Chains A and B, each alone.
Chain A
Amino acid sequence: MAAGVLITVPTRERGEHRPLPGFVTDLRPGAYGPYDRLAQVGRAAEIAGLGGAVVPFDPVGEESWVVASGLLRGTRFLRVVAGFHPGVATPVYAAKVSASLQRFSADRLAWHLTVELDRSVARAQGDFLEGPDRYARADEFLTVAKGVWREEGFTFEGRFYDVLNGGFEPPLSGGAFPEVYLSGTSPEALALSARHADVHVFTLDDDLDAAVAELDASGRDITYALSVPVLVREDDDEAWDEARRRWIAADPPGLVGSYATVAARLREYRERGIGAFVLDARPAVEETYRLGEHLLPLLEKEAAHAG
């Protein structure tokens, strides 16, 4: 079962210290680096009672397996979703790295396989595959990764991957395969999820109801998640003041409002089938604490009523 409320880890932030004036004693250089900031985000999520943290696949951010490894090591309960693209590694190697992380973390790692990239971004990653082929490859990728994880003597001959007499031995084979997060609303994306997804992640722009109906019809037990930026404050005015300050002449990218307002909006999504929320709130440490103290209790209360 997927974690109910997750935060998005800000991997584009430089994480370096703002320099102090020269006359102020600064003991940080050499003792702390950018990953100490990221670690703090993971700890905040753990302390604030969030279920998980998503480390997106982002070619202009930190690498997600490295970040995810550190977050898992620094927490005991947090589930960590590492986003990556099928072109970054062979499925056997992705599974092998993940088998270790599952052992190290008592099975708290999940995968978000990012299948669609903009053409130029994909090519900069060395990936020249286009169109529906990308989903065919992702399907093979997951089939091979699950195959070597679960079957000794696994052999596979496909369009994209071959394995001969592969498969992990204990103890690498003992753990749970990472939960698979997928996204997208094209027919190919939904077909892939119908075969492989544990969680399907939507954004505010997606045609949620149509996609949920189609995935429901597949018969697979999928948790639907909504990925959404949030800016919450004690009342609507305060939230909107902050939103206007941050996005001076533009619309804020997600949900803005009081704790109650945003909780109500999230409940509407719950009624439409959403079971998990991937929230993006910045700055991450402070806002994660805020979500834990003020928004989560309202969601839990509503979940209790609904139940």
Chain B
Amino acid sequence: MPVDIYWRIGTHGDQPSLRRRVSSRGEWAPVVPGSLAPGIRDGVRDGYSYLEHMADVARASELAGFVGGLLPSFPNTDDPWAAAASLARETTTYRFMVAFQPGFLHPVQAARMSASLQRATGGRLVYNIISGGGGPAQLWWGDKVAHDDRYARTSEFLDVLKGVWEGGPFRHDGRFYRVEDAGLPDHLTGQPFPEIYFSGSSPAAIAAAGRHADRYLSWLEPFAPLAEKFAQVREHSAATGRTPRFAVRIDVLARETEEAAWDEIRRGWDNIDPSVLEDATGDSIGWQRSRSFVTGRITGYRDLEVQPNVWGGFHLLRGGPAFGLVGSYRQVAERLDELVALGVDAFILAGVPHLEEALRVGDHVLPLLRGHGPRPEPSLTTATKGNP
């Protein structure tokens, strides 16, 4: 089975490296000398914006061998629909994985936007459907639906969206949506339905995923708990008769040698505020989650290496989740192969800075993947934790 490998596009600026938490790409931070595409040139607005950088990342990803990219959506990011529609005609093979929450759009509107975007891109739209974590962020968006109900709404949203996709007339009277004789106009029908990547760990999420998801998407975690999560999804999906497929979103820091990769981490580590390590609770879910896999006091960055090449400190060096892979090109490729062996057939990779790392990973890591092919020599997979 082929494996689809995506490369994330940051929709909230980017750092030039993991060494310092300074965002200088786009206008997401105060403009300083060296800021790229801040939209200002010689003190005058120049018509360029962060979109120019996103376009570069998309084209680099396309050329580097990725099938497309995830465009994340959070309160303080650019919007993935806007970005995908803007970049449709200046990319060729790039699949736009648009992250969105069903509560924000009416499903008939989502159907029409999706069909139009399929026409604009030649069928390159993919969904990353987020049902929302709840809490203050949902009220920021103006969404009052409670956590478990949001998954019920997601299910109903997709029922309506699929109901109108082939033209209708479609009638529905449900808990969240009601439509009469709905459908798409003739010239918008017949487009491929976007593949659905679905996230969420709760039982409600897994139940909804079982009905609609093409791929169940998870952050990277240590492989054992990840395999356990997959087993749960398989178990819950059994009732629906669907065989779930799995995707993992992974930050990678790969270099020619393992030493060079860890040295890059060390440089970032030396610049973080040590007090964040003392803080037992941390201020992010990512930190709490990663801390739960780490035992004992943290005295150095290698203490966060919970299994060979799986490092739980990325959130300290840039915004986002904790776990990622650190190692030589070959080691990173081997870990990805191991995930393929666990049943993963899609990856959303990312690295900082996204543009340069897309080219690096495309040139040096992807060609080493073996997938289900013969395993590499055992000596190459030996645990390396603790090496200087």
A264 an interface residue at 8 Å Cβ cutoff? no
A99 an interface residue at 8 Å Cβ cutoff? yes
Q: Which 6 A-B pairs have the closest CB atoms?
A: A69-B85, A164-B139, A88-B109, A93-B104, A100-B82, A63-B116
Q: Say whether, besides A91-B142, A103-B51, A123 and B89 are in contact (CB < 8 Å).
A: no
B117's partner among A15, A66, A74, A172 (CB-CB below 8 A) is A66
- Minimum CB–CB distance from A152 to chain B (whole Å) comes to 11
State the total of A-B contacts with C-beta under 8 angstroms: 172
A6 an interface residue at 8 Å Cβ cutoff? no
Q: Is the CB of B143 within 8 A of A125?
A: no
Q: Is the CB of A66 within 8 A of B179?
A: no
Interface string of A81-109 (1 = CB under 8 A from B): 00000011111110011111101101000
Range for the number of chain A residues in contact with chain B:
35 or more
Q: How far is the CA of A166 from the CA of B27 in the complex (A)?
A: 21
- Which residues B76-133 have CB closer than 8 A to chain A? 76, 78-79, 81-83, 85-90, 103-109, 112-113, 115-117, 119-120, 122
* Residues of A close to B179: CB separation below 8 A: 123-126
* Residues of B close to A171: CB separation below 8 A: 26-28
Q: Is the CB of B86 within 8 A of A70?
A: yes
Q: Say whether, besides A62-B119, A100-B79, A165 and B141 are in contact (CB < 8 Å).
A: no
- Which residues A95-151 have CB closer than 8 A to chain B? 96-101, 103-104, 106, 120, 123-126, 128, 144
Taking CB as reference atom, which chain B residue is nearest A155? Answer: B139
A164's partner among B47, B119, B136, B181 (CB-CB below 8 A) is B136
- Minimum CB–CB distance from B119 to chain A (whole Å) comes to 5
* Residues of B close to A189: CB separation below 8 A: none
- Minimum CB–CB distance from B87 to chain A (whole Å) comes to 7
Q: Is the CB of A35 within 8 A of B88?
A: yes
A187 an interface residue at 8 Å Cβ cutoff? no
Q: Is the CB of A63 within 8 A of B115?
A: yes
Q: How far is the CA of A93 from the CA of B104 in the complex (A)?
A: 6
Interface string of A181-211 (1 = CB under 8 A from B): 0000000000000000000000000000000
* Residues of B close to A124: CB separation below 8 A: 108, 168-169, 179-183
A73 an interface residue at 8 Å Cβ cutoff? yes
